Amino acid sequence: MKDLSAISSFSAVRSLIGSMPGPDEQALAKWQEREPQLTKPAGSLGRLEEISRFLSAWQGRHPPRLDKVRARVFAGSHGVMALGVSAFPAEVNFQMVANFQAGGAAINQLCKTFGIELAVETLELDRPTADFTKGPAMSEEECLTALRCGMAVAEPGVDLLVIGEMGIGNTTSAAAICHGLFGGVAADWTGRGTGVDDEHLKIKIDVVERGVAANRSDDPLTVLRSVGGRELAAMTGAILAARHRRIPVLLDGYVCTAAAAVLHAADPRALDHCLVGHTSVEPGHRRLLEKIGQRALLDMDMRLGEASGAALAVGLARAAVACHTGMATFAEAGVSDKH
């Protein structure tokens, strides 16, 4: 992959999107050779089979392994918070980052449970993005800085990268990105986020509508910098870098998937190395999953963020690898195969 420090323009990012590697065909062939020999009817493990195949293809090896699973939670601050789009104040960003670092959040418990290495990447929490109803949330250089921050976490040797976020107000940015990329009306994409009441939901829809109207563009990266946030841009960068380094990715909920959708809008193949961990309660997430052609692994009525739904899905990934690698073949077990 190109030196990440050389990614100094949107044209360089577009070049990376245009030169993405595909799945490893040799690894796929080895997976396909073993899977039908396992002591079960073909296809009987359903999506567990899909997961082990996916991991083998995008790790570029067979058998797949999950020795090093890494979760990265990106945290950012949003200028539109001042417009009343969230039920929580902006200082919660700092307080929750401290909670992550102290081990007290839900994501800490899930990572301990499923053997995931966790770190939080903060992106200028003391400097919110600009109010995107009046112009772009970020300059191109600010957006590139966040993209590079995300790219840096996709280090060689990671077996699975779990991506998530924390940023009060960022469901507003996610809704604006989706509205900007896929059209419809603002209300299609805007939900209650952290739990705003009816009055503040109307404010939030209006902010999304005005933000997209003030920053119309057919270029997905411009949409990202115009109505996104630093943590969303960082997730976009992490997903793109993971593709070039053959690291499969588990996406979290609505905000994370919106960041990923920027790449899908640029190239429909861009998320082939990604699975979505869960379907968020946020109503725009189901609509977004349809747009990008993904079906989440879990549907648990979750809407926390923090990579929590994706971390929970790591349990499924570990189960999939264990079944594919640990099960006996028909010959080994002395079990008759079908005729």
Q: Is 50 a catalytic residue?
A: no
Q: What is the DSSP letter of 37?
A: G
User: Hey, what amino acid is at 313?
Assistant: A
Quote the CA–CA distance of 275 and 297 in Å, as a whole number.
8
* CA dist 137 → 128, 149, 193, 233, 276 (Å): 9, 17, 20, 11, 27
Other Cβ atoms less than 10 A from the Cβ of 185: the count is: 12
Catalytic residue among 49, 209, 282, 306: 306
Other Cβ atoms less than 10 A from the Cβ of 6: the count is: 9
Residue 314: half-sphere exposure toward Cβ, Cα within 13 Å: 30
Three-class DSSP category at 219: coil
CB contact at 8 A, 233 and 10: no
User: Hey, what amino acid is at 17?
Assistant: I
Quote the CA–CA distance of 207 and 209 in Å, as a whole number.
5
**What is the helix, strand, coil percentage profile of the chain, to 5?**
55, 10, 40
The tokens for 77 are 């601050």
Quote the CA–CA distance of 185 and 32 in Å, as a whole number.
44
Residues β-bridged to residue 97: none
For CA atoms 67, 162, 112, 121, the dihedral sign is positive
Q: Is the omega angle on the peptide bond into residue 21 within 30 degrees of 0, that is, cis? A: no
Other Cβ atoms less than 10 A from the Cβ of 285: the count is: 26
101-125 residues labelled b (16+ CB within 10 A) or e (exposed): eeeebbbbebbeebebebebbbbbb
List the catalytic residues.
Answer: 306
